[in-house]
Amino acid sequence: MSIDDRLAELGLTLPPAPAPAANYVPYVRSGNLLFVSGQISANEDGLILGRLGEDMETAEGAEAARRCGLALLAQVRAALGSLDRVRQVVRLGGFVNSTAEFTEQPEVVNGCSDLIAQVFGDAGRHARAAISANALPRGVAVEIEAVFEVE
């Protein structure tokens, strides 16, 4: 089964690959590794803003992280032409806009990790960081970057 078939089976549609918001490129390929720049939480209505532990609940943050995952996949498709060229999801780096008291960053970033595992199966099992940040660009709730091994 192709990854596009898997996305359809899961009822998922990828957004257009977001354009960079500053002086960087959305992805860089070095050998068989594809580094995807941090994707910020956004949906069809715009940016998903908020701070976990202040005005957002963990489940809302996980949904924001899931949206970051969809944007990551859109960037991979833009870079490679097909998600079937992904051999392994190597690492996710998740940043969660949260208060000093909030400690559920792993559960928030699971929104992206779970999506990646659903889409890629065993090839989606990855190393990861889930880090608290007291602010993120434009006030978004979550930002996630990734490294993929590709053919």
Q: What is the pTM of this model?
A: 0.97
| The pLDDT of residue 28 | 98
- Is CATH 3.30.1330.40 correct for 3-15+27-150? yes
Structural tokens at position 65: 């992280």
| The pLDDT of residue 89 | 98
Q: What is the pLDDT of residues 27-78, one digit of tens each?
A: 999 999 999 999 999 999 999 999 999 999 999 999 999 999 999 999 999 9
Query: Which residue ranges make up each domain of the chain?
Result: 3-15+27-150
User: For residues 78 and 8, what is the distance between their CA atoms, to the nearest angstrom?
Assistant: 18
127-133 and 27-30 as β-strands: parallel, antiparallel, unpaired? unpaired
Q: What is the pLDDT of residues 86-109, one digit of tens each?
A: 999 999 999 999 999 999 999 999
Residue 15 scores a pLDDT above 90:
yes
Q: What is the mean pLDDT of residues 105-121?
A: 98
User: For residues 71 and 78, what is the distance between their CA atoms, to the nearest angstrom?
Assistant: 10
Amino acid letter, residue 111: G
127-133 and 86-97 as β-strands: parallel, antiparallel, unpaired? parallel
The answer to whether the beta carbons of residues 52 and 141 sit under 8 Å apart is yes
The answer to whether the beta carbons of residues 144 and 95 sit under 8 Å apart is yes
| The pLDDT of residue 21 | 87
